[in-house]
Amino acid sequence: MENAINHTSSDDIVTSDRKKARKAVIAAYQGTFIDLADQYVPVIALASAMVYFQSPAITGPAATLIYFSMFAATMLGRPLGSLIFGPLSDRLGRRRVSLISVAGFSTITLIISLLPGYESIGFWAPTALIVLRFITGIFIGGEYSAALPLAYEYTEKRRRGFLGGILQGANAVSYAFISIIVLVVLAFAPDGSLESPYVQWGWRIPFVFVAFMGFAYFLYRLKELPESELWRGSARPKTPVRTVLSSAGFWQVFVLMTGLFLCSNSISSTVPGFLTSQFHNSGQVATWTVLITQFFLMGAYLIAGAIGQKYGRRKTLIGYGIFHATISACVWWAFVTAGKGNLQLVLAVLAQILVAASFAVVNPYVNERFSTSVRSTGFGLGWSMGVIIPAFFAFYMNWLSNFMPYTATPAVLLAIGGILVAVGAFVGPETNDIDIAVARDAEVATTTTEKFAPDNIRLSPQRGDA
């Protein structure tokens, strides 16, 4: 395949059209906020309402497993979404794919808000919920595969770490936003038994709210979202998936992201459910705990992004991996052994912050690992396929519970995940100072074209050259 690498750097593009760059970054933040809100709305809104979808005969670990299966379905849909939409983004453009994806997951979320419960349709209630969340995950995988590369392709390299903190901060803002909506609904529609107002209809309100946010974004950005100038000047790969999967860079990212998602899923996905089902806190207490966590995370993401920019993303990720395998695992153990009370809630907040902050570093890192012509495919697959193994964390926890207390099993997953993060980062290169506009396909971008461009790559003239 003949490729083209444009001499124009990403810094040149930002300098020449700051208005487009600003629009791209703001749109990426808004899109990330909405897709994360859509991802988290069932985790928060259904934490105390899953009985609506379950048989009354199902209790304890089995009920918890259904709750986690809903989350796993979303996570498993994301790699398929990246596999479908990542190559489309590299061929058709970041803008178009981003808008299609937002419209898709917003529509599915609205459909979920209309689902009947177990009392009405029996087994088909949880089945429909899980299947629709899987489809939602497909569109979510498409959204970030297009929107985040678009933002980084409009960002100067000295600001990419800061952008990582800002974009990952959308994670905290969306989680906090959904938590606030749920708390407001719980105030006038209390939870509790199957017949309680929240369980019967209150949980639907957050889903409807998130769906209409997505539709509003789609309509507004239909005219306001710019296309990536770097993408316009790049080659159109014939086989972007094959190009990415055949590269060593992808598999290095896969190991790194598998470890990071194993750490994240074993903590952030279990805390709300553990607080209610294992330690018998109310839905309000669990939601407030998550909400407080997100406010602290907004600052933690910015700090982590700045550390990665200053000291190097590779070194920072190695440090995070070692930290998660040791300190974070100990914090989780302290959380589950502290007993119900304020100390336990503080430790729940701390455990989530320690693990989640590292995503602000890996966000720009994975984008920097792939060239413009396959960046959406590389970022999307690298980020999403790392979700597949960790998506079954609930099953690993059930198996580990044969050898230890169920509540302690996330500490083991944290230790394993931390080792994978450290190893994945160690075998990869440093990326802070690269120019993402100049790269070899599916490999880390480099600062000079002449030194690294293979003979079969044709250097395209800059705009305005004869």
Checking if the pLDDT of 13 tops 70, the result is: no
Instruction: Report the pLDDT value the prediction gives residue 150, as an integer from 0 to 100.
Output: 86
Kindly report, residue by residue over 118-146, the tens digit of the pLDDT.
Answer: 888 888 888 899 999 999 999 999 888 88
Distance from C-alpha of 154 to C-alpha of 160, rounded to nearest angstrom: 10
Q: How many domains does the chain have?
A: 1
442 vs 295 pLDDT, higher one: 295
Q: Is the pLDDT of residue 7 over 70?
A: no
Residue percentage of the chain with pLDDT more than 70: 88
- pLDDT mean over 382-411: 88
Question: What is the mean predicted confidence (pLDDT) over 247-272?
Answer: 89
Task: State both tokens at 354.
Answer: 């320690």
pLDDT tens, 291-309?
888 889 889 999 999 999 9
The overall average pLDDT reported for the chain is: 82
**What is the rounded CA–CA span in Å between residue 315 and residue 323?**
12
What's the pLDDT score for residue 59?
65
| Averaged pLDDT for residues 415-440 | 86
> What integer pLDDT is reported at residue 267 of this predicted model?
84
pLDDT of amino acid 31: 85
Residue 446 pLDDT grade (very low, low, confident, very high; cuts 50, 70, 90): very low
The SS3 of residue 457 is strand
HSE, side-chain direction, 13 A CA sphere, residue 337:
11
The stretch 156-173 carries a mean pLDDT of 88
pLDDT by residue (tens digit) across 213-226?
999 999 988 877 77
Q: Average pLDDT in the 268-296 region? A: 78
Residue 461 clears pLDDT 60, i.e. is over it: no
- In the block, residue with structure tokens 């993401």: 301
Say how many CA atoms lie within 13 Å of 456 toward its Cβ: 5
Q: What is the pLDDT of residue 300?
A: 93
**145 within domain boundaries:** yes
φ, ψ for residue 55, nearest 5 deg: -70, 140
Q: Tell me, yes or no, whether 325 lies in a domain.
A: yes
| Mean of pLDDT values over 359-387 | 90
The predicted structure's pLDDT at residue 215? 94
Closest CA to 287 of 403, 186, 148: 186
**Quick one: DSSP state of residue 461?**
P
Residue 342 in this model has a pLDDT that exceeds 80 = yes
User: Which among 136, 131, 127, 128 is positioned nearest to 107, based on CA atoms?
Assistant: 136
Is 462 part of any domain?
no
Structure tokens at 424: 């994945």
| Cα–Cα distance for residue pair 195/218, rounded to 1 Å | 36
Residue 263 within a domain: yes
Q: How confident is the model at residue 312 (pLDDT cuts 50, 70, 90)?
A: very high
Q: For tokens 């906020």, what's the residue?
A: 33
pLDDT at 20: 77
Q: Which of 6-15, 382-391, 412-421 has the lowest mean pLDDT?
A: 6-15
Bigger pLDDT: 296 vs 5? 296
* Residue 405 neighbours by CB distance under 10 Å: 11
Q: What residue numbers bound the domain in which 320 lies?
A: 8-454
- Angle CA 232–234–235, to nearest 5: 120
Task: Report yes or no: 249 and 126 within 8 Å, Cβ to Cβ.
Answer: no
Angle at 125 between CA 144 and CA 48, to 5 degrees: 75
Q: What is the CATH number of the domain that holds 323?
A: 1.20.1250.20
- Looking at the chain, the whole-number percentage of residues with pLDDT higher than 90 is 33
What's the pLDDT at 1? 37
Q: Answer whether residue 143 is part of any domain.
A: yes
The residue with tokens 């964390």 is 393
Query: Looking at residue 256, what is its pLDDT?
Result: 97
pLDDT of the residue at 436? 76
On the question of pLDDT at 165 being above 50, the answer is yes
Instruction: Please tell me the least confidently modeled range out of 32-46, 152-166, 266-280, 361-375.
Output: 266-280
The answer to whether position 415 is within a domain reads yes
Most confident of 39-43, 58-62, 260-264: 260-264
Q: What is the pLDDT of residue 11?
A: 58
Rounded to an integer, the average pLDDT of 392-400 is 88
2 part of a folded domain: no
Task: For residues 177-206, give the mean pLDDT.
Answer: 86
Contacts of 280 (CB under 8 A, 6+ apart): 340
User: For residue 198, is it within any domain?
Assistant: yes
Phi, psi angles (nearest 5°) of residue 30: -65, -45
211 CB-contact burial (10 Å; exposed 0-12 / middle 13-18 / buried 19+) = buried
Query: Per-residue pLDDT averaged across 456-466, rounded?
Result: 31
Q: Is 402 a residue whose pLDDT tops 60?
A: yes
Read off the pLDDT band of 260 (50, 70, 90): very high
Question: 458 - beta bridge partners?
Answer: 4
* Model confidence at 318: pLDDT above 60: yes
Q: Which of 22-26, 163-167, 364-368, 380-384 has the lowest mean pLDDT?
A: 22-26
Average pLDDT over residues 336-344: 82
Confidence of residue 445 (pLDDT cuts 50, 70, 90): very low
- What pLDDT was estimated at residue 61? 66
What pLDDT was estimated at residue 444? 41
**pLDDT score at 419:** 97
